[in-house]
Amino acid sequence: RVLLEVKDLRAVIAESGQEILRGVNLTIYEGEVHAIMGKNGSGKSTLAKVLVGHPDYEVTGGSVIFKGENLLEMEPVERSHAGLFMSFQTPVEIPGFYSYVSPKAAAINMDLRFLDRNVNEGFSGGEKKRNEILQLAGIWVLELGQGYGLWIYAMHFLYTDFTKLHIAVNSSKRNSIAKMVLEADLAILDEIDSGLDVDALQDVAKAVNGLLTPNNSVLMITHYQRLLDFIKPSYVHIMEDGTIVRTGDVSLAKQLEKEGYRAFSNS
C-alpha cells in the first residue's frame, strides 16, 4: 500500500518568495526505508519541513497524498495525528516531557533513572550537549528491549524545533501526543546521524530498525553514507537544487561516497 505520494512538489520561502523545492517526486510504500542524500543546501530539510507543514514555507505547486488524503490541506497538528512524524536538526527544551513519558515508561518496565529531568531543560543547545543527550537516550535502547518504538520517538523529541506541529507537545493534549508518538506511520529523520560517534550511531540505528514494521516507513535524510551501513534503505535518492535527480538502491550511496556529489550533478 502506498503511504506517501509526492508529485511535482514546489515550495518557496514564505517571506522572500524564493523557490527552494523545484518539482520533487517521491513515492513511499508501507514497510520501506528511503534515504535522501544531497549536499548542503540542496533542499533536503526544506522537503521534510514542507511535508510536516512548517509555516516558513509555502507550497506553490504539486501534490502530496498521505494515506490517501491530501496532506497539504491539513494543519501541521492534523498531519502528525494522521501518522506523520519528523525529527528536527535542532533541539529545544520540552517542558512536560517527563510527565508525559514517565507513565509510558513505567508501563513497559523501563528504567526511570534517565527520566529525572525534562528533556533538554537546562541544557545549552550546543552540539556537544546534544550528543550527550543522544547517548543518554542510547542507553534507553539497551534497557527498553521491546520498547524501541517508544524510545525512538522519545529521541525525536530531542530534535524538536518549535513549529506549529509541536504546539501539541507543549499543550496538555496528552492523548493526541500519545497517538503521535506511538502510532507514527511515516517517521522523517533529518540528519539523526549528525555529530554522532559510531557507538551512538549504532544505538540510533538499532532503535530505528526496531521500530520498523511491515506497515510503517522511514524517510532518512543524511549527508553521509555512513548511516546507511546501519539502517538499510530500500531506496536511495539524491537531491540537488530542490529536486530528486537520481534514485537507486544502496549502491548509489556507495558510488556517491566514492565519486562525490559532483558526479550526480545536473548542471
Residue from 46, 160, 216, 243 touching ligand ADP (CB under 6 A): that is 46
- Does the protein bind ligand ADP through residue 38 (CB under 6 A)? yes
* 243: contact with ligand ADP by CB under 6 A: no
Distance of alpha carbon 10 from alpha carbon 48, whole angstroms: 13
**Which one, of 69, 88, 103, lies nearest residue 178 by Cα?**
103
* Chain residues 36-65 in contact with Mg ion, contact rule CB under 5 A: 40, 44-45
Rounded to 5 degrees, what angle do the CA atoms 96, 101, 102 make?
Answer: 105
Q: Indicate whether 91 belongs to the interface with ligand ADP (CB under 6 A).
A: no
Name the one range near ligand ADP by CB under 6 A: 23-31, 38-46, 62-70, 104-112: 38-46
Kindly state whether residue 251 participates in binding Mg ion, applying the rule CB under 5 A.
no
Interface of this chain with ligand ADP, residues 9 to 28, rule: CB under 6 A: 13, 20
For residues 123 and 224, which CB has a smaller minimum distance to Mg ion in the complex?
A: 224
Please state, as a whole number, how many other Cβ atoms lie within 10 Å of the Cβ of residue 20: 21
Identify whether the C-beta of residue 160 lies closer than 8 Å to the C-beta of residue 94: yes
CA distance 226 to 205: 11
Instruction: Sort residue 27 into left (φ over 0), alpha (ψ -120 to 50) or beta.
Output: beta
By CB under 6 A, the count of residues binding ligand ADP is: 11
- Our CB check for ligand ADP shows the closer of 17 and 68 to be 17
Exactly one of 40, 175, 251, 266 binds ligand ADP (CB under 6 A); which one? 40
46 binds, among ligand ADP, Mg ion, none (CB under 5 to 8 A by kind): ligand ADP
Q: Is 120 one of the binding residues for Mg ion (CB under 5 A)? A: no
CB 64 within 8 Å of CB 82: no
Backbone angles phi, psi at 22, to 5 degrees: -120, 55
Residue written as grid cell 517542558: 95
Q: Is 22 helix (H, G, I), strand (E, B) or coil?
A: strand
Taking the complex as a whole, the smallest distance from the CB of residue 18 to ligand ADP amounts, in Å, to 7
| Binding status of residue 55 toward ligand ADP by CB under 6 A | no
Binding positions for ligand ADP, rule: CB under 6 A: 13, 20, 38, 40-46, 56
Binding positions for Mg ion, rule: CB under 5 A: 40, 44-45
